[in-house]
Amino acid sequence: MRDAAVERVSVVFSLFDADGSGSLTAADFEFMARRVVAVADGSDAAATRAMTAAFRRFWETLAAELDADGDGAVTWAEFRSCVLSPERFDATVAQFADALVELGDPDRDGLIARPRFRALMTAIGFEVANVHALFDAFEPSDEDLVEVDTWRRAIVDFYSPDQAGIPGDLLVGERPR
């Protein structure tokens, strides 16, 4: 298991633990979905439903795959094991990535502007400075736009234990709030 992947998984756990309880529950994912959808002004209802569904599926997959004691909560010890067998989460991560980039591109032009990227990523809980560093790593155009496909690939890579030295590692620089 790569150290970078463990650090990324640690960040993801802290972000998903929206209530700070030390374990993940369905309520954390509902809260996170509402928070992300709330900043996606201009997105259509289908895109916001897709994002909410992606957060719910993320929770359902985590609970089914990792809640070893069946208590309806996933602890850090349980969650950390997702790095060992990421294939169990590939489809869930892909759905999440698709839904998030769809919120980022409401006009469907294949591009996302920095302000919208920042709003979505900070709604997830990433630090603003880290979000800007990631956006810059995507080498935005002169109009300060990046391709949503670049972002989507970065989301998928972020959850892969075999990836190191990826742009998503910039999100780990400081602990999320």
Q: How confident is the model at residue 164 (pLDDT cuts 50, 70, 90)?
A: confident
DSSP letter (8 states) at residue 145: E
How many Å apart are CA 20 and CA 65, to the nearest integer?
Answer: 22
Write out the two tokens for 8.
């990324």
The pLDDT, as a whole number, for residue 85 is 65
The pLDDT, as a whole number, for residue 56 is 96
* For residues 128-141, average pLDDT: 97
* For residues 24-28, average pLDDT: 96
How many Å apart are CA 142 and CA 134, to the nearest integer?
Answer: 16
pLDDT digits (tens, 9 = 90+) for 34-90: 999 999 999 999 999 999 999 999 999 989 988 989 999 999 988 887 655 667 788
> Percent of the chain having pLDDT more than 90?
67
pTM of the model: 0.90
